[in-house]
Amino acid sequence: MISRRECLLSLTAAPLLRAQQESGFVSLFDGKTLRGWVLVHGRGPGYVVQDGAIVCPQEGGGNLYSEKEYSNFVLRLEWRLWEGGNNGIGIRAPLEGDAAYAGMEIQVLDDEAEVYQKMSLKPTQYTGSVYDVFPARRGFVRRNGAWNQEEITADGRRIRVTLNGQVVTDVDLGSVTDPAVLKKHPGLARTSGRVGFLGHGSHVEFRNIRIRELK
């Protein structure tokens, strides 16, 4: 029989082992601490570590960013949420400002929740979208505490999001030419910045966070 201690040791070692098994990937989360991350404008407890995952509690949140900046990369991670869950994955974001505009936000949302169905969300507000700019294909979110696998590739002006094996967003940032959109989203022009989580006062968890930098 496997003891509880052995089970927990296996769980916390998993992120490092997973990164080692994927050529070129480096783990951003050791499964036990928030070492390597910085909290900006935290709310309540901010983010905590529980059972090998970074948890944004319902009473917590704020922006949790990587200490290091990244330019071109492939980011892989898993996340899960429950009814009404809302968060985001910031990419090429600065420490200050609204990451969805000063950088870019890849939406994380419980798309099918009743609360959002009643809100008539814009197509660019659903999971996998480059928030408020590019809409994602819909219908691939696993709900009610099931883990979702996501891969985000930022390679020059190309952003591609794969959710549970399906490419939901594949866009060229250079295709945005509307002056109003460019003014509202100066982050589209950024070439590097932090990756991170953008809490919205609902319980969302992240684990197995790893990254491979591209040349």
Phi, psi of 146 (to 5 degrees): -80, 145
C-alpha to C-alpha distance for 140 and 7, rounded to whole angstroms: 30
pLDDT tens digits, one per residue of 72-106? 999 999 999 999 999 999 999 999 999 999 999 99
Whether the predicted pLDDT of 53 surpasses 60? yes
pLDDT at site 4: 43
Whether the predicted pLDDT of 210 surpasses 70? yes
pLDDT at site 73: 98
Displacement of CA 62 from its chain's centroid (Å): 13
pLDDT tens digits, one per residue of 108-122? 999 999 999 899 899
C-alpha to C-alpha distance for 180 and 72, rounded to whole angstroms: 26
pLDDT tens digits, one per residue of 12-22? 445 555 555 68
The CATH number given to whatever domain includes residue 9 is 2.60.120.560
User: How many percent of the chain have pLDDT more than 90?
Assistant: 86
Grade residue 46 by pLDDT with cuts at 50, 70 and 90.
very high
- The number of distinct structural domains making up the chain is 1
Q: Give the CA distances from residue 65 to residues 1, 6, 148, 165, 170, in Å, rounded to whole numbers and listed in that order.
A: 39, 30, 20, 26, 24
Degrees to nearest 5, angle at CA 160 with 158 and 164: 175
CA proximity to 164, closest of 127, 118, 115:
127
pLDDT at site 10: 44
Residue 104 is which amino acid? M
The count of residues in the chain is: 215
Whether the predicted pLDDT of 9 surpasses 90? no
Structural domain boundaries, residue 93: 4-213
pTM: 0.90
DSSP classification of residue 169 = E
Question: Which is more confident, 180 or 3?
Answer: 180
Whether the predicted pLDDT of 2 surpasses 80? no
Q: Is 123 exposed, middle or buried (0-12, 13-18, 19+ CB in 10 A)?
A: exposed
